[in-house]
């Protein structure tokens, strides 16, 4: 399940928000927000640390350490509960609306009596917000867009949250006597970016022990339905989980049935009908006699329908049936194909760990190469200078090859380091430093971090111009979206993708679970232009380095092969690509 760090970070963030809502000390709110980020990104589980150990985490002082220690030992966060009591629950719900900060939420409650999202929408349509200081038509438009974004999420969980839960359920049930197989299925197995509910399957002769253990899991807050073959629960985080126990010889049919999207399953069942067969979670049957033909393995079921096994990531009815019939399914990229990570941060800017710790952890992951790409100066809050970035370059060069893959500390076969930078794509498409200075970097990622409200035409020109810069190698988190919080910017995808292909600029698949940007649909579109991709963690802490798996999952949903992703290439080939327009 979720680490204690994530739980504590969430509470500290809420405390910071409530300080802001109640008009408290803004500096104090920022201190708690910074501590939340630091604890959330700390490599060690805070439950294993005492107060002194907590104070060693950057940004965590004595007072915060004492509060965290008390919470972990007693479950009590008295200061937070005191502030919660001062704020109506409705106001706290308003702060979940993207674009509506804590102070504005409190103002709306105090001045207009707004205490729910529905009341907020009603007040906007009645133009009641316009008389309030700091509100206006543009603010109303932004808030409505935020409400739409929040509602479209529909209570869905990010993939990392759902996967963490699913893996815990599977691990627990797998230990029960009589369990022959156990796995998650559904949209989580297909690797969708958000998950509505988690489907778990067990193959066993008897279902009773599994249903009992499942309903008794410590994080189950409600048993919605319980029966001999299916039990549905809701967890304390609001995520629903369905458990189905099937006979062992029905395993393959059940996994196929409960994995594919509705559209994919309809197509598969249509094929079965044409073959005078019937497909269910229990097997593939002869439609007339009812005799079961195959059911034990997915491969057998697909084969009987005249198809090769189709990877779960492709089961969306986006051409996979036709490709399967033509023996044209791609050999999808695997996580093991990645040789390195080309977009990461340290505490020199907004990362939480020092350079050497990030490098050491990357080596433990088995990377052959690793790029450090801290922010450039136009992201003003990072206070980057030429002197600071050049000093970091010397540190990077000194560590190059020192950390062996899988943690060996010798230079033979050691992980190679690339010194890079994450540039800011300014409103006109320019980037931070001049060409002469940029020439010294091994890799340049360029990203949009501001002025999201430009027109579609302006954003398109902005990105195309960045692609045309001979020093820009990768466009980072291209649409800038943050799932559930910020929609992606709108630009002419085809024009930008064509520019990437023409100029030899890679599009990033940002693997952070709250981004997963590019989306799978955009990847499918980009690859038709011949675009190359980079799957990067955008790590700002040690735990973030493990997010590459989610980027690979999204790449698979976009039908990508290993050769289309530049950080699967050997370093020599990668360096040739990174020279871009500077070849020769």
Say if residue 131's pLDDT is above 90: no
Half-sphere exposure of 342 (CA within 13 A, CB side): 33
Question: Are 276 and 375 part of one and the same domain?
Answer: no
Say if 530 falls within a structural domain: yes
Say if 330 falls within a structural domain: no
Say if 559 falls within a structural domain: yes
In angstroms, the CA 581 to CA 473 distance is: 10
CA nearest 117: which of 142, 141, 95, 87?
95
Name the DSSP class of 99: T
Domain CATH for 225: 3.30.460.10
Say if residue 411's pLDDT is above 50: no
pTM confidence score: 0.86
Say if residue 104's pLDDT is above 70: yes
| β 197-203/230-235 pair status | unpaired
Domain limits for position 310: 157-325
Question: Are 381 and 467 part of one and the same domain?
Answer: yes
CA nearest 171: which of 214, 129, 137?
214
Highest mean pLDDT among 60-74, 122-136, 174-188: 174-188
pLDDT at 407: 45
Say if 549 falls within a structural domain: yes
Question: Are 302 and 354 part of one and the same domain?
Answer: no
In angstroms, the CA 511 to CA 567 distance is: 13
Say if 482 falls within a structural domain: yes
Query: What total of structural domains would you count in the chain?
Result: 2
Question: Are 318 and 172 part of one and the same domain?
Answer: yes
Question: Are 307 and 364 part of one and the same domain?
Answer: no
Say if 38 falls within a structural domain: no
In angstroms, the CA 443 to CA 457 distance is: 28
Say if 96 falls within a structural domain: no
pLDDT bracket for residue 156 (50, 70, 90):
confident
Say if 118 falls within a structural domain: no
Say if residue 406's pLDDT is above 60: no
**Per-residue pLDDT averaged across 509-532, rounded?**
96
Question: Are 205 and 244 part of one and the same domain?
Answer: yes
More confident residue, 22 or 236: 236
Question: Are 379 and 469 part of one and the same domain?
Answer: yes
Question: Are 478 and 510 part of one and the same domain?
Answer: yes
pLDDT at 354: 93
Q: Which of 235-239, 404-408, 409-413 has the lowest mean pLDDT?
A: 409-413
**Per-residue pLDDT averaged across 489-498, rounded?**
96
Tens digits of residue pLDDT in 193-220: 999 899 999 999 999 999 999 999 998 9
**Per-residue pLDDT averaged across 507-523, rounded?**
96
Tens digits of residue pLDDT in 280-316: 999 999 999 999 998 999 999 999 999 999 999 999 9
Question: Are 284 and 350 part of one and the same domain?
Answer: no
Question: Are 549 and 417 part of one and the same domain?
Answer: yes
Say if residue 408's pLDDT is above 70: no
Question: Are 198 and 258 part of one and the same domain?
Answer: yes
Tens digits of residue pLDDT in 447-492: 999 999 899 999 999 999 999 999 999 999 999 999 988 889 999 9
Question: Are 304 and 357 part of one and the same domain?
Answer: no
């Amino acid at each position: 399940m979720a680490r204690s760090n994530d739980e504590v970070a969430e509470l500290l963030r809420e405390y910071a928000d409530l300080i802001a809502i109640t008009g408290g000390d803004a500096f104090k709110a920022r201190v708690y927000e910074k501590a939340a980020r630091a604890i959330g990104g700390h490599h060690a589980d805070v439950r294993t640390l005492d107060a002194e150990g907590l104070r060693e985490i950057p940004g965590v002082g004595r007072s915060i350490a004492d509060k965290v220690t008390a919470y972990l030992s007693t479950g009590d966060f008295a200061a937070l509960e005191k502030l919660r009591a001062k704020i109506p629950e409705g106001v706290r719900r308003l702060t979940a609306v993207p674009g509506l900060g804590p102070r504005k939420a409190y103002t709306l409650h105090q001045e207009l009596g707004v205490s729910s999202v529905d009341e907020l929408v009603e007040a906007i349509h009645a133009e009641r917000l316009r008389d309030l200081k700091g509100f206006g038509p543009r603010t109303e438009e932004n808030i409505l867009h935020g409400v739409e974004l929040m509602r479209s999420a529909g209570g869905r969980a990010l993939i990392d949250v759902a996967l963490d839960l699913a893996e815990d359920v599977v691990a627990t049930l797998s230990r029960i006597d009589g369990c022959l197989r156990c796995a998650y299925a559904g949209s989580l197995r297909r690797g969708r970016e958000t998950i509505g509910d988690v489907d778990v399957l067990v193959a066993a002769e008897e279902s009773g022990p599994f249903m009992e253990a499942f309903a008794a899991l410590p994080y189950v807050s409600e048993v919605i339905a319980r029966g001999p073959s299916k039990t549905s629960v809701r967890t304390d985080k609001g995520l629903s989980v369905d458990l189905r126990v099937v006979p062992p010889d029905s395993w393959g049919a059940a996994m196929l049935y409960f994995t594919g999207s509705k559209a994919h399953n309809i197509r598969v069942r249509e094929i079965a009908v044409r073959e005078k067969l019937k497909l269910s979670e229990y097997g593939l049957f002869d439609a007339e006699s009812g005799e079961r033909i195959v059911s034990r393995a997915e491969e057998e079921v697909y084969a009987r329908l005249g198809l090769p096994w189709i990877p779960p990531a492709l089961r969306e009815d986006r051409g996979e049936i036709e490709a399967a019939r033509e023996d044209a399914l791609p050999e999808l990229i695997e996580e093991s194909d990645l040789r390195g990570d080309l977009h990461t941060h340290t505490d020199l800017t907004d990362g939480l760990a020092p350079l050497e710790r990030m490098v050491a952890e990357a080596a433990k992951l088995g990377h052959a190469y690793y790029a450090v790409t801290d922010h450039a100066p136009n992201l003003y809050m990072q206070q980057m200078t030429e002197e600071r970035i050049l000093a970091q370059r010397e540190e990077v060069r000194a560590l190059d090859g020192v950390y062996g893959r899988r943690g060996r500390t010798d230079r033979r076969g050691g992980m190679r380091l690339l010194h890079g930078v994450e540039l800011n794509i300014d409103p006109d498409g320019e980037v931070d430093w001049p060409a002469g200075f940029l020439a010294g970097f091994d890799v340049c990622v360029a990203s949009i971090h501001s002025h999201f409200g430009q027109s579609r035409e302006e954003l398109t020109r902005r990105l195309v111009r960045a692609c045309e810069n001979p020093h820009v190698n990768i466009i980072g988190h291209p649409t800038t979206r943050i799932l559930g919080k910020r929609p992606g910017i709108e630009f002419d995808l085809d024009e930008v993708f064509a520019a990437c292909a023409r100029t030899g600029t890679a599009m990033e698949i940002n693997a952070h679970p709250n981004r997963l940007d590019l989306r799978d649909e955009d990847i499918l579109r980009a690859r038709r232009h011949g675009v190359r991709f980079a799957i990067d963690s955008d790590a700002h802490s040690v735990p973030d380095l493990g997010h590459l798996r989610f980027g690979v999952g999204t790449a698979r949903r976009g039908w990508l092969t290993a050769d289309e992703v530049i950080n699967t290439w050997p370093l020599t080939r990668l360096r040739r690509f990174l020279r871009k327009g500077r070849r020769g």
